[in-house]
Amino acid sequence: MDDYKNAGVDIKAGDRASKIAYEYAKSTFSSRKGMIGEPVIDEGSYAGLIDMGEFYLVQCDDGVGTKIEIAERIGKYNTLGYDLLAMVADDAVCLGAETISISNTIDTNKIDAKVIEGLMKGLAKACIEQKVIIPGGEIAEVGKSVNGNIWNATAVGILEKDKLITGSDIKPEDKVIALKEKGFRSNGFSLIRYIIEKEFGKDVYLKESPFGKTWGEMLLEPSKIYSAELLKILGRFGEKRKVEIKGISHITGGGIAKNFKRIIKNKKVGTDIHDLFEPSEMVKEIQKIGNVTEQEAYKTWNMGNGMMLVVAPSDVDSVLDNINIEAKIVGEITENDFIEIQTKGIDPQILRYSMEHR
């Protein structure tokens, strides 16, 4: 059975490192106390909140991770911009924020203008669609410090204070709505690459997959960007909110349970998730090839569910009617102290996650 640790990724070590980093980050907060730009402490939030007096500035960072290594193998770079924007804009919108800009850094062992053109062409296209600007960035040739390319970004968003989504109103019987995702987004690719390279060899990405395209083309299918569609409901800056959404969870690294805990972390509630979207045939095929357990798959990948919303029962129809993305009710908030998930991978079962260590 293959898992993330076999692929060289230690999730527990990563979590410890993140906690250390955030403690040092918080140590800087007091330096702006009482000043414009004073930070708001919100443990486990998807993005940082900065108090600008009449509104919040929202800032977050992420990257495309090792998905870029597949692009390098087949020489196709023009889809990764969607992944980069999705990773940050869809984090910011979890707070209700409208992303207005994204800056990016490309660290490379050797600058190749064609690679840069492919990356930036895709990013520009995604940004135009989402109404986001690229005010600047950095390209650094760092030689042997990296093997290939590393692409990361910082997004800046804006949010009226009375539109901040905190999850504080989440209560039992509220409904959970999932937004469908057909691929892996830009998470868990160390495990994906480990599985298919072990099975088919290092040149697997140029080989035909069972799905009508090469493995490389299938795996480079870009992440769905949910931000602009959600802003139709939430309202961009200065617009009225059509429907109240109580909580938004971006299902990225850590899977469904870990990310969903982030929006109910301070509530004495649990969740029954019993009708998720099924993962695509490609996702299930890779799970099958690697003999990846349901627990590991749902801990590492989104498994067909890229975003989750919590809404009052009376608001469900309004949300589903106003969003042009395949979406459905997948569960509800409960009084239990655990998250229960009915999986739909290659070995469907019920997984239960305690809320004890929120």
Q: Quick check: 166 and 264 in contact, CB under 8 A? A: no
Q: Check residue 8 and give its pLDDT.
A: 65
Dist. CA 35–CA 33, nearest whole Å: 5
- Domains of the chain, each with CATH number or no CATH: 11-163 (3.30.1330.10), 175-354 (3.90.650.10)
SS3 content of the chain, % helix, strand, coil (to 5): 35, 25, 40
Residue in 95, 84, 164 with CA at minimum distance from that of residue 132: 84
Q: Check residue 7 and give its pLDDT.
A: 65
Could you tell me which residues are beta bridge partners of residue 130? none
Structure tokens at 75: 């020489």
Helix (H) or strand (E) holding 158: strand 149-160
pLDDT tens for the chain, 358 residues long, are 767 567 667 677 877 898 898 899 889 999 999 999 999 988 778 899 999 999 999 999 999 999 999 999 999 999 999 999 999 999 999 999 999 999 999 999 999 999 999 999 999 999 999 999 999 999 999 999 998 999 999 999 999 999 999 999 999 999 999 999 999 999 999 999 999 999 999 999 999 999 999 999 999 999 999 999 999 999 999 999 999 999 999 999 889 999 999 998 767 899 999 999 999 999 999 999 999 999 999 999 999 999 999 999 999 999 999 999 999 999 999 999 899 999 999 999 999 998 864 4
- Concatenated DSSP letters for 113-125? HHHHHHHHHHHHH
Residue the block writes with tokens 């106390």: 33
Dist. CA 207–CA 102, nearest whole Å: 34
Q: Check residue 154 and give its pLDDT.
A: 98
Dist. CA 69–CA 115, nearest whole Å: 12
Q: Quick check: 4 and 194 in contact, CB under 8 A? A: no
Other C-beta atoms closer than 10 Å to the C-beta of 280 total 19
